[in-house]
Structure 1
Amino acid sequence: MKPSPTLTAPEAGDAPLDENPVLPSMRYRGWFLFVMMLVSMSVVGERYMMAVMVGPIKADLGLSDTQIGLAKDLAVTIVYILAVIPLARLADRWSKRKIVAIAAATWSVAVLLCGQARSFFPLLLGRAAIGLGEGGFTPPSQSWIADLFPMKQRATALAVFLLGTSLGHLSGPALGGWLTSEYGWRNAMMLAAIPGFILVPIVLFTLRDVPAGLADGRAHHKPQTEPFMATLKAIMAVRTLPLLILGAALTTLLTMGLVSWTPAYMERSFGMSARDAGLGMGGALFLGSVIGHSIGGPIADFLGRRDLRWYVWIQVFSALGATTIAFVMLNGPGTSVFPLLGLNMLVGGLSAAPLMAIISGLAPVHARSVAVAVLMVTINIIGLGGGPLFVGVLSDLLAPTYGKESLGMAMRAVLLVGIPAAGLSFWASMICLKDFAASGAWDTTRKTPVALH
């Protein structure tokens, strides 16, 4: 029998794709995943490095705390939310490779602009452009991974990819703080832009586009051009997806409600200094998220070979486990808070890679990037936006009754969100098998042809 032609590595990825392509070799896919992890580390690090530059920037530019808050967080988040779905639509129709490279160039230039800012508005513009670059990177990167790794490997591949996020959360503030102390905040930003510029040609010239759905045996060579609402309707018609997306958003609301207020909780309830609280929380978040993200994907792939519902059951376990650990944390001594917060992040992080695998595996092949974008927008609005705000507002309302303990009471109240989050995931587990079967991509025993090079 004549062997299927392989995907050759065109210099720019613009050559016509083979009619009957096979997966690139594992060696190439390992390199691809390593590069994607580095790109993810780059954007996350550059987004969060400003957190350790607030003092010098505020003094140099004469900014208020409100202006710092707008530039540091809100500008990035708003532009990300506005840009991520249109850019995901473009990624489903065009070259994922080119979009990822352009996104990396965008946030690298944006960091340079921030470093050259002499007033508030150039700084705000630069931070907004970081959100634009991040919005262009997240959906195509995850859908690209789904195109290259079959379901039995996908959660593990996504777990490796998520290591970039954890490393970015560590390296951004750590290197940013060191560079700022040694060379000043402007030079620190100039130096921080270098990795992104190095990664752009690596993405362009060593990676290649493949047909959407290749790893699932559903390769689509021609992108569909249906209207956005039709695409969104097709995604929401997969009944498992809206349940898991909303459940993930509620879980994020709980997590961010805890994480964003834990240092203040330690200061008010246990008299801990801001320095010690920051160090304790940083270590807990890093270790917990790295371990949780690293093992969640392989566990899901291992158990999923026995029963596909494990990909969803992990969401239930993660939500209930994280809620229980947080309850113990908030009702125990101060010495146990950060160890338990780390454990909370570990258990909560188990669900990240399996969730991303489900989203990309059940969404229509031509709408994978959009499905990821819908997930990220929902998480950002409900979870990242709602969690810290909910706890803050409730703490103010409870202050007349509970005094300095009002914050702890508000953080306990947010734990109630874990119940509907777990309930939505359990509901999804009862109906997901039909969606798995309908997708045609979840036969974890199916052999996928792989190229030798």
Structure 2
Amino acid sequence: MTTPLRSESTARASDDSRLVTPAQAWYAVAILTIANVSGFVDRQILSLLVEPIKRDLRVTDTQVSLLMGLGFVVFYSLLGLPIGRWVDRGHRPRIVALGAMVWSVMTMLTGTARSYGHLFLARIGVGAGEATLGPAAVSIIAGQFPPRRLGVAMSTYMMGTFLGSGVAYALGAYVVGRVDKPGLVAVPIIGDVFPWQLVFFVVGLPGLVVALLALTIREPRALSVGGESSAPEKQAPFADVIVYLRTNARTLGALSLGFACSASVNYGVGAWLATFLIRTHGWTVQEAGTLQGVLTFTIGPLGVMLGGRLTDRWSQQGHIDAPLRVGMLGALGMLIFAGLYPIVPSPLLAAALLVPVNIFAAMPWGAANAAVAEAMPPRMRGQGSAMYQLVVNLLSGALGPTAVALLTDKVFRDPLAIRYSLSLSAVFGMSLAIALLAWGRPAFSATVQRLRAEADAAA
């Protein structure tokens, strides 16, 4: 469904874009992208230090998995809901700054852990800090860019996901052999720590700089058109948010579940790619980690920016459902290439196919944030984004890696069959993503048209 786009000034008359210059808006995107990089490095680095953590703290695989799952994803997702309400009424740059300070300090406290319980609490703190970033970033960016430019702005912010993950993978591949040593290292003020714990100080410290930078982002809510202080927009009561979600259940359900299916496949690939390369093609841990890091760091950003440009181009052509179209295109590309790379016989061909896999895996994520932002009224965006992230993170984090493992263990019953598990989960998951997003397109277009009409009437 298409409709002619309104003028940019009319379309955003009730948003924050009239109170900031384009340079200020892009500055905000740049700082939020840096924050996203910092957060993802802090989030991912633990998964690359599993063996020394198990040895020195005497924990099991299951306990380590809880640090990455229950200790992070669950608290990260659930805390997003009250934080989303805070975002909808509070000073958003200060919320980002506080969150960056919390996740950075808690990352460094991971470097002082002497027990599993200490480590678990530190990971909860990292998740709590990072829970502030997504809702605040979506709210800030959506308020400062018109719809026809929102795709590239959101995609630029989402580049931080791939840059941060790529840095973590590459850093892990580089340092794993240097910190996987028994014994203790003396650190001034802190005292004796295990060698692997030094990594958490290195990756945690930059986040404190990010916190200071976040305070320099302009907050339009603190201004009126004349430049004087004014009260922020009244927050929507939670009951109104629930009513809105019910009224637009098809729109928001299709967005959340459709992109959750895409994310589940991505999580599965991310969790098991190195294992696949080791088991199937005889690669070393360092070789597999380096390939994964380089592709994520270089090809991932290209994919997410391509998705953003396509979103904006189709939006400018009058396609209200442009973000969902991009999501479907990314899912189709993943269905083909993520379905193929595990089952080809040549390791070089498999590595080559991972290039389009990374492009299509990254393509939808700026578009997804743009879709959520456009489908929610401005005063509900923080809460809407938090609820979307709750569904996507919980479903993808729980289903993605586990689906591959269950297929390998329970269906094929052969560790070497991981290649078929990866292929089958990609084909099934992305087929479901395409179906859900296609089902939601008419409802999404109707929701966005109604919100735009309400904004015009209020202007």
**What is the Cα deviation at residue 27 of structure 1?**
1.8
The equivalent residue for 1:248 is 259
* 2:80 aligned partner, one-letter code: V
The reply to whether residue 192 of structure 1 matches residue 188 of structure 2 is: no
**What is the Cα deviation at residue 321 of structure 1?**
1.7
**Residues 1:68 and 1:434: Cα distance change in structure 2 (over 3 Å):** closer
Q: 1:156 aligns with which of 152, 162, 172?
A: 152
The equivalent residue for 1:360 is 373
- Rounded Cα–Cα distance in structure 2 between residues aligned with 1:416 and 1:176: 31
Q: Structure 2-normalised TM-score?
A: 0.84
**Residues 1:397 and 1:60: Cα distance change in structure 2 (over 3 Å):** closer
The equivalent residue for 1:208 is 218
**What is the Cα deviation at residue 331 of structure 1?**
3.1
Q: Deviations over 1:344-379 (max 9, x none)?
A: 221132211112111101212211111111221111
**What is the Cα deviation at residue 417 of structure 1?**
2.3
The equivalent residue for 2:450 is 438
The equivalent residue for 1:15 is none
Greater CA deviation, 432-441 or 195-204?
432-441
CA contact (8 A) 1:284 1:338 kept: no
After the TM superposition, which residues 316-327 of structure 1 pair with which residues of structure 2 at under 5 Å, given as runs?
316-327=328-339
The equivalent residue for 2:430 is 418
Q: Deviations over 1:249-301 (max 9, x none)?
A: 11112222233222222333333333322222333333332111122112211
The equivalent residue for 1:27 is 23
Listed as ranges, the gaps of 5+ residues in structure 1 are 5-17
Q: What is the RMSD of the two structures over their aligned residues, measured on CA atoms?
A: 3.0
Q: Deviations over 1:179-209 (max 9, x none)?
A: 78388333332232221111222222x1232
The reply to whether residue 257 of structure 1 matches residue 253 of structure 2 is: no
The equivalent residue for 1:314 is 326
The equivalent residue for 2:188 is none
The equivalent residue for 2:191 is none
- Rounded Cα–Cα distance in structure 1 between residues aligned with 2:201 and 2:113: 12
The equivalent residue for 2:288 is 277
Greater CA deviation, 285-294 or 404-413?
404-413
CA contact (8 A) 1:250 1:417 kept: yes
Give secondary structure in 1 for the equivalent of 2:344: coil
Q: Structure 1-normalised TM-score?
A: 0.85
Q: Deviations over 1:315-343 (max 9, x none)?
A: 22111121011222233223222221231
The reply to whether residue 234 of structure 1 matches residue 244 of structure 2 is: yes
**Residues 1:434 and 1:170: Cα distance change in structure 2 (over 3 Å):** same
Greater CA deviation, 331-340 or 359-368?
331-340
**Residues 1:110 and 1:404: Cα distance change in structure 2 (over 3 Å):** closer
CA contact (8 A) 1:162 1:293 kept: yes
- Rounded Cα–Cα distance in structure 1 between residues aligned with 2:169 and 2:290: 12
The reply to whether residue 171 of structure 1 matches residue 149 of structure 2 is: no
* 1:426 aligned partner, one-letter code: A
Greater CA deviation, 358-367 or 181-190?
181-190
The equivalent residue for 1:12 is none
The reply to whether residue 42 of structure 1 matches residue 52 of structure 2 is: no
After the TM superposition, which residues 34-433 of structure 1 pair with which residues of structure 2 at under 5 Å, given as runs?
34-175=30-171, 181=178, 184-204=195-215, 206-211=216-221, 221-227=232-238, 229-238=239-248, 239-308=250-319, 309-333=321-345, 334-400=347-413, 403-414=414-425, 415-433=427-445
Greater CA deviation, 49-58 or 295-304?
49-58
- Rounded Cα–Cα distance in structure 2 between residues aligned with 1:112 and 1:411: 35
- Rounded Cα–Cα distance in structure 2 between residues aligned with 1:237 and 1:43: 34
Listed as ranges, the gaps of 5+ residues in structure 2 are 1-8, 180-184, 186-194
CA contact (8 A) 1:285 1:342 kept: no
**Residues 1:147 and 1:429: Cα distance change in structure 2 (over 3 Å):** same
**What is the Cα deviation at residue 160 of structure 1?**
1.1
- Rounded Cα–Cα distance in structure 2 between residues aligned with 1:279 and 1:376: 29
**Residues 1:384 and 1:94: Cα distance change in structure 2 (over 3 Å):** same
**Residues 1:23 and 1:186: Cα distance change in structure 2 (over 3 Å):** same
Percent identity between matched residues is 24
- Rounded Cα–Cα distance in structure 2 between residues aligned with 1:265 and 1:176: 18
* 2:217 aligned partner, one-letter code: L
CA contact (8 A) 2:15 2:143 kept: no
CA contact (8 A) 1:281 1:338 kept: no
**What is the Cα deviation at residue 126 of structure 1?**
0.8
Give secondary structure in 1 for the equivalent of 2:219: coil
**What is the Cα deviation at residue 37 of structure 1?**
1.0
Q: Deviations over 1:48-94 (max 9, x none)?
A: 12233333333333333333332244311121122111111111122
CA contact (8 A) 2:311 2:323 kept: yes
CA contact (8 A) 1:249 1:383 kept: yes
Greater CA deviation, 188-197 or 97-106?
188-197
Q: Deviations over 1:140-173 (max 9, x none)?
A: 1111111111112111111111121122112234
**Residues 1:348 and 1:225: Cα distance change in structure 2 (over 3 Å):** same
